[in-house]
Structure 1
Amino acid sequence: MPETPHILVESLTVGAFANNCYIVHSGEGSECLLIDASAPASAMIGRVRELGLRPTRILLTHAHIDHILGLAALRGAFPGVPVALHAAEHAWLDDPVLNLSAAMGEPFTADAAEETLGDGQVIEFGGERIRVMHTPGHSPGGVTFVIDCIDTAIVGDTLFANSIGRFDFPTSDGPTLMASIRERLYTLPDRTRVLPGHGPETTIAREKRSNPYVRA
């Protein structure tokens, strides 16, 4: 009889943009992964400390301002923890135009990421495997973190409940976004939970059936 996976995903909704940030942990060991770094980061920092966890990586689904504004606070709270994102957006951390903070009137930069994420990469965690799936369109370096053992995909701003990510930004591309959803996310099992960067969770089955922008 196969063992039950020991991976838990906690969601915290923070900031003016109501971003969903995620803490991935095993429920047994002390290590955890932090996914996305919205501000204020105090809720995530507090929850990590409340659970007695030790972050080993900060993983970014993409580098738009609302997903990186809390990086300095997280790095300050957890010194030495590496930040990882797709190669296509490494330069965005230090470029207010690309990360969209300049367009909002408050240019923001962050220190460089220490690690690079690539399509098909496997992150070993808690005795399980987390797959990195490149899902560009909303941004060129957007990624999804697929946790197959618990049928869960953390999708950033690629797919939402009954909606999809914006593609009217200068570095966005609508056809690429549609292809990422249809050819990549929609190939996941129907039962897969979809945990987005904003709004409520959904499932692959529900979006394939009723998403008004991209149906299977």
Structure 2
Amino acid sequence: MKYQIIPVTPFQQNCSLIWCEKTKRAAVVDPGGNVDRILREIAKLGLTLDKVLLTHGHIDHVGGAKLLAQQANVPIIGPHEADKFWIENLPKQSQNFGFPHCDAFEPDQYLHDGNTVTVGEQSLTVLHCPGHTPGHVAFYSASSKLAWVGDILFRSSIGRTDFPQSNHQSLIHSITSKLWPLGADVEFIPGHGPISTFGEEREHNPFVADQLLL
């Protein structure tokens, strides 16, 4: 699986353009905004966009999803339907966070734990990881040992749990029971900030390092 990170929105959210090198079929993970920039990168790389993938319903991750899907005529897939209330609340989110007005939308498909999403000849396993939001999902490429984790986990930090229906204990459980078993050598692309590995976070992350959770 090939990928390119495209920082979007004033929050510098790590939107990811991912693609199958053999087929040049692509998906965009979490297009929070700056749709023109995303479309330019797709064209520059000679890719064909097949779908939009969403990890959760916060505006900096989904704010550009409807426009991108409409312009490319592709479906919006994800997150888990427990985040439906966040997507329905996008007009209010745009006011609260100082974003341009964003209409609510209905994803073409909600995701569940264990689902598989294809990108060309590559496949991603869906992991339901509630905590930051109740319907948050991660996408894992076993062949590339890469995971897209949205706002579940960051380098040296974890997702916030002070939002409606967030839950700190659920977040810790999602990280330790869903992400850690994938392997210490797995690289992850967070929703914000630099890439890391699960092994690095298990050793040094001040919120979920192994020695803290014994």
Aligned partner (choices 181, 187, 206) of residue 212 of structure 1: 206
Unaligned runs of 5+ in 2: none
Task: Supply the distance in 2 between the matched residues of 1:41 and 1:131 (Cα, whole angstroms).
Answer: 26
Letter of the aligned partner of 2:112 in structure 1? G
Q: How much does 1:125 deviate?
A: 3.0
Letter of the aligned partner of 1:170 in structure 2? P
Work out whether 1:155 is the aligned partner of 2:142. no
Specify the alignment match of 1:84 in structure 2: 77
Specify the alignment match of 1:72 in structure 2: 66
Matches within 5 A, 1:163-182: 163-182=157-176
* Number of equivalenced pairs: 208
Q: How much does 1:105 deviate?
A: 5.5
Task: Supply the distance in 2 between the matched residues of 1:111 and 1:172 (Cα, whole angstroms).
Answer: 22
Aligned partner (choices 101, 113, 117) of residue 94 of structure 2: 101
Q: In the TM superposition, what whole-angstrom CA distance separates every residue of 1:82-108 from its partner, at most 9, and x where no partner exists?
A: 1011111234322248x7334335663
Letter of the aligned partner of 2:27 in structure 1? L
Aligned partner (choices 31, 34, 38) of residue 37 of structure 1: 31
Work out whether 1:117 is the aligned partner of 2:124. no
Q: Tell me, yes or no, if the aligned pair for 2:4 and 2:18 is still in contact at 8 Å.
A: yes
Q: How much does 1:134 deviate?
A: 0.5
Matched-pair identity in %: 33
Matches within 5 A, 1:125-144: 125-144=119-138
Aligned partner (choices 186, 189, 192) of residue 192 of structure 1: 186
Task: Supply the distance in 1 between the matched residues of 2:77 and 2:84 (Cα, whole angstroms).
Answer: 9
Q: In the TM superposition, what whole-angstrom CA distance separates every residue of 1:17-74 from its partner, at most 9, and x where no partner exists?
A: 0000111111231311111111112221110111121211100000101111112331
Residues 23-32 or 56-65, more deviating: 23-32
| CA root-mean-square deviation | 1.7
Distance 1:159 1:47, change over 3 A: same
What TM-score, normalized by structure 2, do the two folds share? 0.91
Q: Tell me, yes or no, if the aligned pair for 2:24 and 2:120 is still in contact at 8 Å.
A: no
Q: In the TM superposition, what whole-angstrom CA distance separates every residue of 1:125-166 from its partner, at most 9, and x where no partner exists?
A: 332321000111000010000001010010000000000000
What TM-score, normalized by structure 1, do the two folds share? 0.90
Task: Supply the distance in 2 between the matched residues of 1:193 and 1:153 (Cα, whole angstroms).
Answer: 6
Specify the alignment match of 1:54 in structure 2: 48
Specify the alignment match of 2:21 in structure 1: 27
Moved segments of 4+, more than 4 Å: none
